[in-house]
Each structure stands twice: as structure tokens, then as C-alpha cells.
Structure 1
């Protein structure tokens, strides 16, 4: 009888250890800095060398399938971070970039093509200092017109058409009076 109790005790102990290990693995993955909520997004951003010791202001968060795109300001400079969901359901960052212009464009490819979505977005961030009120973006034969509120931080997501793989881009900008701003080229 003692041997049977010992075997049962060992099996029970192994089961408890296994459950604790699985629970620890799952919970531990939730405590890593990630992109699951705004607080952890800021922590993740500030863990990246180029954003250490900077002020972060989240402007917009866009979820597309298992990917999360976040437009933000880092010390009032335009930036974005791209997250991809892992096997535990947590968002892990894959890329980040920043620019110094008051109207900045970022070309963001998604890791996979999604149903009803392209795998390419153009993120335009307008900061408080932006003086451009309207933009016309010609991407191949597609025309996108975006208007921006002046003296306000904002993000605009332009989804490129599914059927195209290579794009050429041409931008036209207009001032607050609707007058075309001529290129200095």
C-alpha cells in the first residue's frame, strides 16, 4: 500500500509541478514589455535605444489582423512602432522609426497580406507645427487626398491597393489658404 501511495504522491507532485510550470510560462509572457495596452506600449518604446529618456505621446493605434501599428511623438518628433502578436497573444515590437519634419511619412509593410487589406500602409503624422492643410498623394494611378487639422497632432493611415506590388509616389501639398506649395527642387 505504501508503494501505491508513493507512486500516487509522485504523480500528483509531477502534475502540480507541470501546472505551475505552464502557469508560470503563460503568466511570465504577460509581464514582458509588450504592446498589449497603452502603458506597456510606452514602456516598450522607451526600452528602445533611440527613444530612451524621451517623452512619448501616443497619437493613434491601428490593429490589422495580428499586427498593431502605433503612431506617436517622441519629444515632439513623429515616430511609429510596429508590433506583431506572438503565440501567447502578446504584441512584440518588430520595427520602429522616427522623423523630424512637422509632416512626416512612413511606409509600413505588414508581415503578411491580410484578407481585405493590403500589406502596405503609408502613415502620415502631422504635428502641432505642421502648416500643410492638405496633401494629394498619387500612388501609381491612385489618388488619395488627405486633409490635416492645423496646430494639432494627428495620424492618417493610407492603405495602398491590394492589386499592386510596386508603387511610385508623388506628393502635392497645400497651405492653410488652399494654395499649392511649390517644390523647391
Structure 2
């Protein structure tokens, strides 16, 4: 976990979680006591956050706000719109952060997948609307961004796995990250 000392003494008005993967919520039990800001997350992410906070013994101290999919949060001078995106876990979101100077689009972890196994397709219409309205900056992170080509769909992975496995006899073991809910479903 990075050292959050640079945040100490600052007025942190909220922490908005984009999704429930461990690299996004795993440190909350250690981080929150140093920052003590309200948390905002969609219902699935909030459920897993509650478990993390319960394990850390601080659940009763933390103000955790559930935000509906596509919902909006008002934090001081900022309006944060949750933008539905596709990822390997339920309810992932990008954030359209409306500031007095303009909109900052934070994609969160994402994938363009027209056949997702878990969750909804990326809300391209909302992203287009935001682009038409004007985006000051986009903060984007994507695994394998430097690999040419198109990432396959999780639906294609499911079909390929089913085809591979149906011709086998005996037991089959498949390994994947436990937090890749889409792959477990495949």
C-alpha cells in the first residue's frame, strides 16, 4: 500500500470506489483510519467493502454510501457521475468528475466487450455524450494497452472453454484470479 502521509492534514471529502477488485478496496481497512472520509460505491462493491471493514474492526466507524448504477454523487464543488463500464467483476464504473473548470473522465479499469459474461456493456452513449459536452482530461488505465489488436470477448472465452472441455474425459482444473468473476462464470 502506498504511504498516504501526503493526504494527512488535507480535507478529503470522499473516496469513490470504481469497483470491488482487491487492488481497489483491499487496503481500505488500513487506509480509512488515516483519512476518515466517507466512502461511495455501488451496491456490489459496497457489500464487499463492508466485509473488509468488518474484518478490520472499523465497520461501525465508516460512513459508506451506496450509489445506484449510473448514479450521481455531490462532493463539495464536484458532481461525480458513475458511468457503467465493462470489466471482469460486477458493477464496475468510470467516473465523470464535473469540476468548476471542466469534466475529468476517469475510466476506472475497463474493457470494451460487446458480449460480457458479467454485468452490462460499457455505456458508450454516456461516454459519447460526455465527449460532446467536452472533457477537459481523461485519466485512463488499461491492461495490455501496448499490445496491438482487439481484446477478445469473455463470451468468446466461455465458448472456447466449453468446446475444449466437452471433448475431455475425467477431471478438468482451470486456474484464474478469484476476483475475475466473469472468468469464473465462464
Quickly name the TM-score band, shorter chain normalised.
under 0.3
The structure in which a higher percent of residues are helix is: 2
The structure in which a higher percent of residues are strand is: 1
Which one has the largest radius of gyration?
1
TM-score, normalisation: structure 2: 0.25
Larger relative contact order (Cα-Cα within 8 Å, sequence gap ≥ 6): 2
